[in-house]
Amino acid sequence: MKNSIFLKIFSGYLLIVIVILAITFPFSFRAIRHHHIDTLTDSLKNLCVTLNFKISSLLEDNRLEDLDSFIKDLGKEIETRITVINPEGAVLADSEKKPSLMENHRKRFEIIEAIKYGFGTSLRYSASVKEEMLYVAVPIENNGVTYGILRASLFLKEINSLLNNLKMNIIKVAAIIVIILLIGAFLFSRNLSKPLNELGHASRKVAQGDFSIKVLLKGRNEIKELADSFNYMTDQINTLFSQLSNQKEELNSIISSINEGLCVIDKEGVISISNKSFNNIVQNDSVKGKTYWEVLRITRFDELIQAVQREKNSIVNEIELNNRTFLCSATYCANKEEIVVTLHDITKIKNLEKTKKDFVTNVSHELRTPLTAIKGFVETLHDTNDNEEDQHYLNIIKRHTDRVIRIVNDLLLLSKLEGKSDSLELDKVNLNNLIENILKIFEQNLKEKNLVLKFNPDSSLPVIKADPFKLEQVFINLIDNAIKYTERGEVVISLSHKKGMVTIEIQDTGICIPKEHLSRIFERFYVVDTSRSRKLGGTGLGLSIVKHIVHLHNGRIDVKNIPGTGTNFIVTLPV
């Protein structure tokens, strides 16, 4: 059962009052009793001192009968028991009993103290009168001679009766005080718990979605300030909730209107959000709450999601689904460990790309035969005609024919590489030896342009598995470009390896590639300077071929433009 704050506060006050009374009353009664006993002790002591002279004269004259009679009369008159004892402890006179019948009092505590210290007191039960009594004893002296001990005593039943009456009065007063305190505690607890209960009720309403609830309290205290803060908070929450609802509706509308398929996959692999386009792509209208492998049973998609979860990064790849090609982008969201997946239909683009590739391949095949024939006839005319003017034109025709033939051959090679129909013939390749042999091809070109070639091999470079013929094409193309586009200075070729990867850098001091062209130099037919490319006989396909050969080897090629020092091509290949 839930304990209310009212019961807690009220019971707390009640416990405090009970504890205070339980501690205060016993000490109060004991203090009052001790005070009364001390007062009576002083009175009895004064009485003994007053009677000392009278009793000492009777003892000095040895008038014991007169002493006993005097003591009995005085005891009845003042309602106090008086006893006279000689120094040996024998009772000489007593106001209550016959002295000869009383036992020796030498060992009584008050007698011992009176003899030793000049004053003695004791509180004990009297065997002779069968009641609790207070005893006070003082020595009887005259002219420095001790004749005995005078003891006065009183019954404590009167003190106990007085204390009992006082106790009852104190209990009555305490009961009235307790009742008043409890009434005050009740009112205080109710006044404190009532607004808190209202706040608790209002909080539950807010938790249920009712933001219109208000807590209106009177007064100017902390609880009133709390209620005002609560009302302000509910207004703010209501405003924020409305804004969030509007934003959610707007977001849902945007997501639903996106043509690309979109879904969100949580860390357990469950689809939490999806739009209509995604449902149409997977041909399933109830994907929410299902695992992605139930909805998309595609190995490549599963590998993509696992790679994103493992690397916690964004990955883009192509997947085939229902005879259509989609560009799948998976982005990792670290805050919720979710993955946002978008599917963009690129089937038309891929078909168009295939059509273009097929067209280029077919045209290239068709052009090879007439170009070969043209080249043959031009060479025949060149050999059989001695006219200088005709020779000039024939040389022009031959040069452009060779250039077109190179373009056609490069296009055919590029088509094979892009279609991956040209498989790699892997073998063990020592890159130091391979590049060293390639450099011999360019010795004449370097001499003609007066360029310096620096080759920095790595003696610890591991042997890699690669297609040596295709790698020759890569490095011949890159070195040829470096020499071709460098008018003065040097070409530096460096080899290194790190963490299972081999790096080949080809750096020149030629013309710098403008920054805006760096991202496009690997596109087919893309040239930075068209007039210079034609002059040098470039086809615009060399770097595209290089890129595809490197990718076939699962490698990477990068280019850095170094202002003032030239260009640096970096090829990275796995060991």
To the question of domain 5-162 being in CATH 3.30.460.80, the answer is no
Fold of 427-574: Heat Shock Protein 90 (3.30.565)
Helix (H, G, I), strand (E, B) or coil at 342: strand
User: Taking all residues of the chain, what is their mean pLDDT, rounded to a whole number?
Assistant: 79
H or E segment and range at residue 150: strand 145-155
Residue 421 has pLDDT above 60, yes or no: no
| Cβ neighbours for 218, distance < 8 A, ≥ 6 positions apart | 224
For residue 297, CA distances in Å to 195, 293, 327 come to: 60, 5, 17
Provide the β-strand partners of residue 25. none
Walk across the sheet containing 271-274 and list its strands: 271-274, 261-265, 338-345, 324-333, 315-321
Query: How many CB atoms are located within 10 Å of the residue 235 CB?
Result: 13
Provide the β-strand partners of residue 333. 338
| Cβ neighbours for 190, distance < 8 A, ≥ 6 positions apart | 6
Q: Percent of the chain, pLDDT > 90?
A: 5
For residue 301, CA distances in Å to 19, 285, 286, 320 come to: 74, 19, 19, 9
Q: Are 15 and 195 in contact (CB under 8 A)?
A: no
The model's pLDDT over 223-233, given as tens digits with 9 standing for 90+, comes to 777 777 878 88
- Chain mean position to CA 424: 51
Do domains 5-162 and 260-345 share one topology? The answer is: yes
For residue 334, CA distances in Å to 264, 302, 315 come to: 13, 19, 15
Indicate the pLDDT class of residue 534, thresholds 50, 70 and 90. very low
Enumerate the domain spans of the chain: 5-162, 209-257, 260-345, 352-418, 427-574
Helix 157-207 to helix 5-60 angle (10° resolution) is 170
94, two tokens? 């007593």
The model's pLDDT over 54-81, given as tens digits with 9 standing for 90+, comes to 888 888 778 888 888 888 888 888 888 8
pLDDT of residue 537: 47
pLDDT (average), residues 411-426: 62
Domain boundaries 260-345, CATH class: alpha beta
Helix 347-384 to helix 388-419 angle (10° resolution) is 150
How far is residue 19's CA from residue 173's CA, in Å, rounded to a whole number? Answer: 17
- DSSP class of residue 122 equals E
Query: pTM for the complete prediction?
Result: 0.42
The model's pLDDT over 263-285, given as tens digits with 9 standing for 90+, comes to 999 988 899 888 888 888 888 88
The model's pLDDT over 349-398, given as tens digits with 9 standing for 90+, comes to 877 777 766 666 666 666 666 767 776 767 777 777 777 777 777 777 77
Q: Are 390 and 383 in contact (CB under 8 A)?
A: no
Q: Percent helix, strand, coil in the chain (nearest 5)?
A: 55, 20, 25
Fold of 352-418: Helix Hairpins (1.10.287)
